[in-house]
């Protein structure tokens, strides 16, 4: 009995300290992003809350098991100078221990599956429903080896680029975005056997979705903070599925801005596009 009480007390103390550290971590960072370091979208927040919840339980479980192992190894060890002998107790079964363990692990796992997994997925799925995405900004994303190409069909922007000509993703804050994800090369759209799987990931948004050749995938989310790659490098588009030699370079800058700034950027892009097309002598009969 004494040993059981000792394990329990040590667990309470050590576990309590560990939980205190965990909670401080959870409450750290901008907007309490804690373990996620930087979260700026509605879907990311769903994941973050699940992470925080599981972390608190995982730390408690971890401490319990480690305390049991460490306590046994110290308390029941053969000490220096003692002769090894048969253990005094040879109990091969203890219904209470086995019962508590098995029922406990079943209950915990069912709990984890219901919350946060199923409940979190409900939130993710709800965020994908049409009624929650009225007035969504549509961004067509083409993933090719090795580039992300963003176009904005609602605004007639064919390829959004920054002033250096690199692809860039601009989004207005707090407006739903519909990403339409395809793996293909707009410049070589007949070579479909060379298309590979990519994965569209914005670390700060806490979500990635694979982009598979021959399929069109949709991802709906809402950027919740004004930020950009310059503010924090987790705010970037990064390919997350190995796609050949250029995989590490397959990234793009992201800017989440006010609606006004977004409108101005759209005008700027149109202007840029017109001047490029003019330069190439393509435009004319279209206008």
Partner 1 sequence: MAPAMRGVLWGLVAFFVFNAATLAVDPSAESPYASQVSVTVGWFAAMIAYLLGIGGLEAVARPMFGLSDTWREAPGWRRYFGFSTDHKVVGLQYMLASAGGFLVAGLVAMAMRYQLMTPYLTIFGSTSDYLTAVGIHGTIMMFSVATVFMVGGLGNYLVPLMIGTNRTVFPKLSGLSVWLVPFGILTVALSPLLGGFTTGWRGYQPLAGSDTNGILFYYLGIVALTTSSFMVALNLTTTIIFRRAPGVTWNRLPMFAWGILTVSLLNLIWLPEIQITYLMNLAERLVPLNLFNANGSPAMYLDLFWLFGHPEVYIVVVPALAVWNEILPVMGKKSLFARPVAVLGLVFVMLLSGLVWAHHMFTNIRATEQLPFSFFTEMISIPTGFAYLAAIGTLWRSRLQVNTPTLLVLMSMFNFLIGGLTGLFLADVPINYQIHNTFWVVGHFHYTIIGGMVFSSLAAMYYWLPKFSGRMFNEFWGKFGAIWIFIAFNATFGNFFVLGLRGMNRWVPVYPGYLVPENVWTSIAAFVLGAGFLFHAAHLWWAWYRGEKADENPWGARTLEWQTSSPTPEVNFSRPPIVAANFYSYGDDAPPVLWAGDASHAD
Judged by the rule CB under 5 A, the positions of this chain that interact with Cu ion are 198, 239, 243, 250
Interacting residue with partner 1 among 121, 187, 264, 282 (CB under 8 A): 121
Q: Does 78 bind partner 1 (CB under 8 A)?
A: yes
Compare residues 67 and 160 and give the one whose CB is closer to partner 1. 67
Q: How far is the CB of 109 from partner 1 (least distance, A)?
A: 5
| DSSP output for 126-190 | HHTSGGG-TTPEEEEEEEETTEEEEEBGGGTBSS-B-TTS-BEEEEETTS-EEEEEEE--GGGTT
DSSP reduced 3-state for 254: strand
Q: Does 85 bind partner 1 (CB under 8 A)?
A: yes
Q: How far is the CB of 277 from partner 1 (least distance, A)?
A: 30
| Residue in 259, 60, 50, 268 with CA at minimum distance from that of residue 162 | 268
CA distance 172 to 255: 8
Q: Does 218 bind partner 1 (CB under 8 A)?
A: no
φ, ψ (nearest 5 deg) of residue 90? -120, 30
Specify the residue for token string 């395809």. Answer: 182
Q: How far is the CB of 154 from partner 1 (least distance, A)?
A: 26
Q: Does 23 bind partner 1 (CB under 8 A)?
A: no
32 binds, among partner 1, Cu ion, none (CB under 5 to 8 A by kind): none
Q: Does 73 bind partner 1 (CB under 8 A)?
A: yes
Contacts with partner 1, 165-204, as mask; x by CB under 8 A: ------------------x--------xxxxxx-x-x-xx
């Amino acid at each position: 009995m004494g040993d059981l009480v000792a394990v329990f007390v040590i667990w309470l103390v050590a576990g309590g300290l560990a939980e205190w550290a965990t909670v401080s971590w959870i409450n750290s960072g901008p907007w309490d992003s804690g373990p996620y370091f930087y979260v700026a979208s509605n879907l990311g927040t769903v994941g973050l809350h699940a992470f925080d919840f599981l972390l608190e339980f995982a730390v408690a479980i971890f401490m319990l098991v480690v305390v049991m192992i460490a306590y046994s190894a110290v308390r029941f060890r053969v000490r220096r100078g003692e002769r090894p002998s048969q253990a005094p107790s040879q109990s091969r079964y203890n219904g209470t221990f086995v019962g508590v363990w098995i029922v406990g692990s079943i209950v915990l796992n069912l709990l984890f599956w219901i919350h946060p997994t199923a409940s979190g997925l409900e939130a993710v799925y709800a965020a994908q429903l049409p009624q929650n995405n009225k007035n969504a900004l549509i961004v067509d994303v083409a993933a090719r080896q090795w580039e992300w190409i963003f176009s904005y069909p609602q605004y007639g922007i064919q390829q959004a680029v920054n002033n250096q000509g690199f692809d860039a993703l601009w989004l207005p804050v707090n407006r739903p975005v519909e990403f339409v994800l395809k793996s293909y090369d707009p410049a070589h759209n007949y070579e479909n056997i060379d298309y590979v799987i990519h994965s569209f990931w914005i670390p700060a948004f806490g979500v990635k979705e694979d982009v598979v050749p021959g399929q069109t995938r949709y991802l709906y989310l809402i950027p919740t903070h004004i930020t950009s790659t310059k503010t924090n490098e987790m705010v970037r588009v990064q390919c997350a599925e190995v796609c050949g030699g250029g995989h590490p370079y397959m990234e793009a800058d992201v800017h989440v801005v006010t609606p006004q700034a977004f409108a101005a950027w759209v005008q700027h892009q149109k202007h840029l596009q017109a001047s490029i097309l003019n330069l190439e002598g393509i435009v004319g009969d279209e206008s």
